[in-house]
Amino acid sequence: MNQLKNIRQRTEGALPALTLVLVSIISAAAAIFGLQNWVAIAAAVAAVLSGAQVINRSAVIPWRMKSANNAVARVYEESSEVSKRLGSAVQITPRRWVTAAHAVTRRPLRRQDHRDPAPAEEVSLMELSLKLRLGNTFSRARVIYRHEELDLAVMESDNDWPWLARISMDLPEPGTSAKVVGWTDDGDHGTDIRLMQDCTVQGSTEDSLIVLVGAAAPWGFSGAAVIDISTGRVFGIAFASRPGGTDDRRFGASRPDETHVIPLSCIPSEHIR
């Protein structure tokens, strides 16, 4: 299935160029045979296609990148101070935000008691009271979908935010250049900063997670948006911790310069409206 998607993506990407070449051949053939009307038509089609490619590269894709960048917000626990930021989230449809599940849930800690027969794995996760930092204001949010094994969660906010990320449900090809956008702090004064890092798609794992190679993701990047720079579309979110763990241990990435990404195609369609 992934091979078919990759073939379709390559075909779609090459289609404008192939069409332009075909139009040029038709125009040349028409000129040779004296078909002046066809020469004019072919020239008009070539001009439209060239113009469309220029507009896409110089205006559409940069606007998508800007929109996706501004669609990434900070996630906090509602009752906590600003220093208790939980991670990042990206808005994919109005009031629908995607993030990493471990950033918005917590497994309660309890005292070890030999008289308690229940294993730790059976302790249920606690839902946190959440809020999103949207510009200079906060908006309450709640989890409406969570998949622990994939470390994926969808939230719904109470307030609107004008910036939306355009999304892709296809897995990117190896070698695709991407940018990871999330919130972290400056390390000195604890000031929140939105950071954009360059990465390259290395491939995918057996369970369809996407592997990126590049700079190590900083703290706070759980739920960061991953953008294909050739289209300006978000195709996944980054994560760093094993869901359900209490020791915040790293998993998935075999090297410090690797980041694993959950593709948006894992979200059930009913949660993308």
C-alpha 204 chain-centroid distance: 15
Tokens encoding 106: 């917590």
Q: Which amino acid type is present at position 43? A: A
Specify the DSSP element, H or E, that contains 211: strand 210-214
Tens of pLDDT along 5-26?
444 444 445 555 555 555 556 5
Kindly report the pTM of this predicted structure. 0.72
* Maximum mean pLDDT: which of 4-13, 120-129, 173-182: 173-182
- In the three-class reduction of DSSP (H, G, I as helix; E, B as strand; rest coil), residue 263 is classed as strand
The pLDDT > 90 percentage for the chain reads 40
Of residues 49, 21, 24, the one with CA closest to residue 32: 24
pLDDT at 114: 43
Give the per-residue pLDDT at 9.
45
Average pLDDT for 199-204: 91
Distance from the first to the final alpha carbon of the chain: 24
- Name the CA dihedral angle for 8, 69, 204, 253, rounded to a multiple of 10 degrees: 170
Task: Report how many helices (DSSP H) and strands (DSSP E) the chain contains, helices first.
Answer: 4, 14
